[in-house]
Structure 1
Amino acid sequence: MHIQTKFHGELKIQPDQTWNFPKGIPGFEGEKEFALLPIEGNNTFQVLQSTQAPNVAFIVVNPYTLFESYSFDVDEPTIDLLNIQQEQDVFVLGVLSLKHPFETSTINLQAPLIFQTKTKKAKQMILNNSTFSMRHQIGTLTAEKGGN
């Protein structure tokens, strides 16, 4: 399948690269299918690209790489929607908002993306936890991890 992308132009993708978001993503409810694409030369960040709308793409990262103590419970509606049976069938990504300089970039820790690897379904789950911010600065997270 060929798709037009925001950052890579036209790409041929494999079915195993696509994820179904049954309810879309908040603000993009009409977009139900996304591809998770690598960023060449970068193993940390990826692009979550709509397969239908070239301009709908998000830079995503495993939030635990930046914030080791990040923790939350997946709510029952998400468990049911994604048919989650086992913890090892799930992985989590966070949406980044890139800025210059990079340390001022932010990650949305308040609404993680939950991916179920067996069903290939995903959902952005909104947390009701004031500990986490929608715009948590990457520089702060890097400092927490002991780097700079």
Structure 2
Amino acid sequence: MAPVDDAAVQSQIDPEKVLTFPQGIPGFETYTRFRLFHKEENDLGAYWLESCDAPTVTFTLVDPTVFGLNYELHLDEEEEEILGTSDPRELAVLMMLSKREREDGWPDALNANITGPIVVNPKARTGLQKVIVRSKLHVSIVEGQRP
């Protein structure tokens, strides 16, 4: 496989479609510019959050309401400043998925990080990962909604 030409990749990224995560994502703090995209043909309603600076750094995200989960997040002043709003109606909340490969013969498992939702302000093109302390986690399952 040929190496990726980072300069060529950078020249193809539309600056109007870049989301800035000023603090990065925990564990990936050096990456602050991402693009969020969706493929119409996928069944899960999944989105991908891909680093503009290292395209191999990609996260799979889903709308938690598809799985009957609703978040009621409290943002502190610093988070509101990063997101450019205190109005929750201006924000999108997405849940990060990870794949856990099993060695016991069972199918691989998809895990949802419910304590670390991705919060994005599409208008301001900014985002962050909100780390929720378990004692403050309140997840509600909406009746009548099933995946």
Task: Answer yes or no: same fold by TM over 0.5.
Answer: yes
Aligned counterparts of 1:83 and 1:16: Cα–Cα separation in 2: 17
Structure scoring higher RCO (CA < 8 A, sep ≥ 6) equals 2
Give structure 2 stretches of 5+ with no counterpart: 1-6, 102-106
**Within-5 A mapping of 1:27-66:** 27-42=27-42, 44-66=45-67
**C-alpha separation between the residues in 2 aligned to 1:69 and 1:121?**
21
Preserved contact between residue 68 and residue 145 of structure 1 (Cα < 8 Å): no
Root-mean-square deviation (CA, aligned residues, Å) is 2.9
Which structure: larger Rg? 2
Work out the number of aligned pairs and report it.
Answer: 131
Q: TM-score, normalised by structure 1?
A: 0.73
1:108 to 110, 113, 116: 113
**Aligned-residue identity in percent:** 29
- Residue 3 of structure 2 corresponds to none
Q: TM-score, normalised by structure 2?
A: 0.73
Q: Distance in 2 between matches of 1:128 and 1:19?
A: 25
Q: 1:83: Cα distance to partner?
A: 1.6
* Structure 1 residues 55 and 80, CA gap change in structure 2 (3 angstroms): same
Q: How does 1:99-138 map to 2 (within 5 A)?
A: 99=100, 101=107, 104-130=109-135, 132=137
Residue in structure 2 matched with residue 14 of structure 1 by the alignment? 14
Question: Which blocks of at least 5 consecutive residues in structure 1 are unaligned?
Answer: 5-10, 133-140
> Structure 1 35/80 Cα, relative in aligned 2: closer, same or farther at 3 Å?
same
Q: Distance in 2 between matches of 1:117 and 1:54?
A: 21
Specify the code of the residue in structure 2 equivalent to 1:94: M
Contact kept? 1:21, 1:121, Cα under 8 Å: yes
How many angstroms apart in 1 are the aligned matches of 2:67 and 2:96? 12
SS in 2 for 1:98: strand
Shift of 1:87: 2.2
The 1:22/1:146 distance shift into structure 2, 3 A limit, reads closer
- CA 1:86–1:41 in 2, change beyond 3 Å: closer, same or farther? same
Question: Given the superposition, is the C-alpha separation of residues 117 and 146 from structure 1 closer, same or farther in structure 2, using an over 3 Å criterion?
Answer: closer
Report if the CA contact (8 A) 1:17-1:37 is conserved: no
CA shift for structure 1 position 98: 2.9
Distance 2:134 2:27 in 1: 20
CA contact (8 A) 1:66 1:145 kept: no
